[in-house]
Amino acid sequence: MARPIIVHADWDPDASVWVATTSDLRGLVTEAASIEALRAKLPGMILDLLEESGDTDLPVSIEIVARASDRLPAAE
C-alpha cells in the first residue's frame, strides 16, 4: 500500500495562487494558479525531495486537502 503524503493547499487571494505545504516531507512549499496546475507540479517535486533526503520508501500517494474562504460584504 502506498504511503500517503498529505499536502495542504490554501488559497491566497492577494496573490491569486494556491499555496501548498506539507508536514510529511521537509522542504515542500510551492504555489500554483490552479489546483490542476498544483496536481501537475507536485509529483516531480515530491520525488525530487524524497531522492534528496534518501527516502526510498515508495510508492507514495499524494492527497491534496484544499481550503479557501471568501468574505461576504456587510449588508447596507
User: Residue 16 belongs to a domain with what CATH number?
Assistant: 3.30.2390.10
The model carries a pTM of 0.88
* First-to-final CA distance of the chain: 55
In a domain, 58, yes or no: yes
Instruction: Give the alpha-carbon dihedral of 12, 16, 18, 19, to 10 degrees.
Output: -50
* Residue (of 24, 18, 4) closest to 67 by Cα position: 18
pLDDT given for residue 22 in this prediction: 97
- Tens digit of pLDDT for each residue in 10-68? 999 999 999 999 999 999 999 999 999 999 999 999 999 999 999 988 999 999 999 99
In a domain, 21, yes or no: yes
In a domain, 29, yes or no: yes
Answer left, alpha or beta for residue 49, where phi above 0 means left and psi between -120 and 50 means alpha: alpha
In a domain, 55, yes or no: yes
pLDDT given for residue 7 in this prediction: 98
Residue numbers of the domain that contains 35: 3-67
CB neighbour class for 21 (10 Å; exposed up to 12, middle 13-18, buried from 19)? middle
Cell triple for residue 51? Answer: 531522492
Number of domains in the chain: 1
pLDDT given for residue 40 in this prediction: 98
In a domain, 53, yes or no: yes
